[in-house]
Structure 1
């Protein structure tokens, strides 16, 4: 269930997982490992900054291509 009052420039955990092409649990692991940080929301429905998610996506793609 996605929040209706999500601020522009932020993604839900589900949107983040879709953008990265990973499972929701992988998003949680990225947060635990310090590779992605929460930028708002609540502990059960965190938000992530679009810029942070896009930077992580570029990083992951470049590592996969190497």
Structure 2
């Protein structure tokens, strides 16, 4: 179940995965590889800074275009 509550400027795991076009498992892999860092929430419902997610999205799109 997706939690709708997060701090301003932050995204839930579900929102982050949707923006990056990955599953929650894929998002966990991205975090495990150190490409994205949790910024709050709880271990079961982490939050991510929207600016970090946007930067990762730009980096991924730039890399894919190259």
TM norm structure 1 = 0.93
The Cα RMSD (Å) is: 0.9
Q: Which residue does 1:2 correspond to in 2?
A: 2
> Structure 1, unaligned stretches of length 5 or more?
none
In structure 2, the residue matched to 1:23 is 23
1:41 aligns with 2:41: yes
Which 4+ runs in 1 deviate beyond 4 A? none
SS in 2 for 1:40: coil
**TM-score, normalised to structure 2's length?**
0.93
Q: How many residues align?
A: 66
Return closer, same or farther for 1:15/1:4 CA change in 2, 3 Å cut-off.
Answer: closer
